[in-house]
Amino acid sequence: MRRKRNGFTLLEVMIAIFVFSSGMMAFMSYHARANTMIFETESSQIAHSIAINLAQEVSSMTPERLRQLCDVSGITYGAIYQDANLAHYFDQGGEFATGPFDSWGQPLNGSNTGTYLFYRMIKINTYDDITDTSNPTASQLARLRHLEVIVSWPLKGHGSVKCNSVAKPECNYLIIPIVKGVAIEP
């Protein structure tokens, strides 16, 4: 009489390993995508907080101070300026932090070393330029300025790219528009 052996054959073990490996490959693929999504979400949140800080600085400017920035400072309308170039217009209490910012959103205080740096920039235009109209100089519409707060940072995998200007394909951009009136010229 033959005794029946209880156990798995080599073929059954190989099929089980294949099924387990396929499941693990799907899980690893999902895990990699989830990590990328988490990275992008965290970077976007940091960029939003950095942009909102500068947008609040712009919004809290008096109309006279905004006129000095927009009309007296000699800036070129439509040009993009980094926040460090305009810091003296914002720095009323001595606590205005300029970029670049590290991956935690902290200012680097003039040091451009590191990866995944965030840069803040400002673009200023007149209402007439944005809407392609012409309004009398003393009108409310002619006194409006359109400011764009721009924050840029590298895409995942491009951490060493300096996103200190616009239109780089390796960079993310966040833009917050602000419309504010300047004071009437004395």
What's the DSSP call for residue 132?
T
Mean pLDDT of 21-39: 88
**Strands, sheet with 171-181, edge to edge from the N-terminal-most edge strand:** 80-82, 119-126, 144-154, 171-181
pLDDT of residue 172: 92
List, for residues 94-148, the tens digit of each pLDDT value: 677 887 888 878 888 666 667 788 999 999 998 888 888 888 877 888 888 999 9
At residue 169 the predicted structure's pLDDT band, cuts being 50, 70 and 90, is very high
pLDDT given for residue 175 in this prediction: 94
**Which segments within the chain are labelled E, that is strand?**
80-82, 119-126, 144-154, 171-181
Instruction: Give the mean pLDDT of the chain.
Output: 85
Q: Over the stretch 76-91, which tens digit does the pLDDT of each residue have?
A: 888 898 888 888 887 6
> Which of 13-22, 24-33, 92-101, 131-140 shows the lowest per-residue confidence on average (mean pLDDT)?
92-101
Nearest to 176 by CA among 145, 150, 153, 152: 150
Of all helices (H) and strands (E), which one includes residue 111? Answer: none
pLDDT value at 16 more than 80: yes
